[in-house]
Amino acid sequence: MKKIKTPIADIFCSVQGEGLYAGQRQVFLRFAGCNLACSYCDEPAALDSASAYGLLPAEAAALVVKLARAGKAKAVSFTGGEPLLHWRFITAVAPALKKAGLQLHLETNGVLHRELGRVEKLADVIAMDIKLPSSTGQGAFWREHEKFLARAPQKTFIKVVVTSKTKMSDFKKAVALAAAARPGVPFFIQPATARRGGARPPGAKFVEEACCYAASVLSRVKVLPQQHPLWGVK
Ligand code: SF4
């Protein structure tokens, strides 16, 4: 196994709180560092590489397998931060995790399409975001998302976070991107979780309208808020 020390913010076993596998026990390997800075980001530790601890792939794999066995988890989620910034580490750690019988889930902001090419064959599931500029308070990444979707395999599903600031025109653009790539792709609308000093969730009317619009274009649309804050787990 290659000796690449990588900044890891956390490794823990919990229940998946978002998307297609919500409710499944998983080990989360949370990388530090991200290429974006979304207004609703609830992972400050993941953005701070300086306070993370550096781990070798062998060390991380041993810890993940131990936690999975103890916590009865069958999958590991590479999350962040942005895991694709650390694709070399993922390719180094993947064989040991697969050998232990774990499914590999990749949670990504869907921007780093070149790096996706390095790990797409290793991942069993890819959860990608489409980032709406009116939600994130950042610039647009339509072109990057389009390229990402063009190479994303069948095992990919999409998540779109909507806030009180989200413009319907941005949302419709995300639906169009998804439909152009694959009309049957699972598409999750995730209202932002209310946090003191942070982003606010959208109104019910907006969510209703967005859901109806998406369902008129795509075949597998669901509204699913983040479950972790509701369950009181991390
Ligand atoms: S892409 Fe994810 S980790 Fe990065 S800033 Fe946005 S919400 Fe936070």
Q: 7 alpha carbon to ligand 1 midpoint, in Å? A: 16
Provide the residue-wise pLDDT of the chain in tens; the chain has 234 residues: 557 789 999 999 999 999 999 999 999 999 999 999 998 998 876 777 777 889 999 999 999 999 999 999 999 999 999 999 999 999 999 999 999 999 999 999 999 999 999 999 999 999 999 999 999 999 999 999 999 999 999 999 999 999 999 999 999 999 999 999 998 999 999 999 887 777 899 999 999 999 999 999 999 999 998 888 777 777
If we measure between CA atoms, which residue out of 69, 71, 67, 64 comes closest to residue 29? Answer: 64
> Distance (Å, rounded) from C-alpha 164 to C-alpha 186?
23
Report whether residue 33 contacts ligand 1, using a CB cutoff of 6 Å: no
pLDDT for 103 equals: 98
For residue 18 the two structure tokens come to 């978002």
Cα–ligand 1 centroid distance for 84 (angstroms): 12
Q: Does 135 sit in the ligand 1 pocket, CB within 6 Å?
A: no
Domains and CATH numbers, the chain: 6-227 (3.20.20.70)
Tell me, what's the pLDDT at 199?
85
Does ligand 1 lie within 6 Å of residue 109's CB atom?
Answer: yes
Helices (H), 72-167: 87-99, 113-119, 133-136, 142-151
pLDDT of residue 2: 59
Say yes or no: CB of residue 42 within 6 Å of ligand 1: no
Task: Name beta bridge partners: 14.
Answer: 26
Kindly give the number of the ligand 1 atom that is closest to the alpha carbon of 161: 7
Instruction: Note the Cα 203 to chain centre separation in Å.
Output: 24
What atom in ligand 1 is closest to the CA of residue 40? Answer: 7
Instruction: Give nearest CA residue, ligand 1 atom 7.
Output: 41
Handedness of CA 78, 84, 86, 90 (dihedral sign): positive
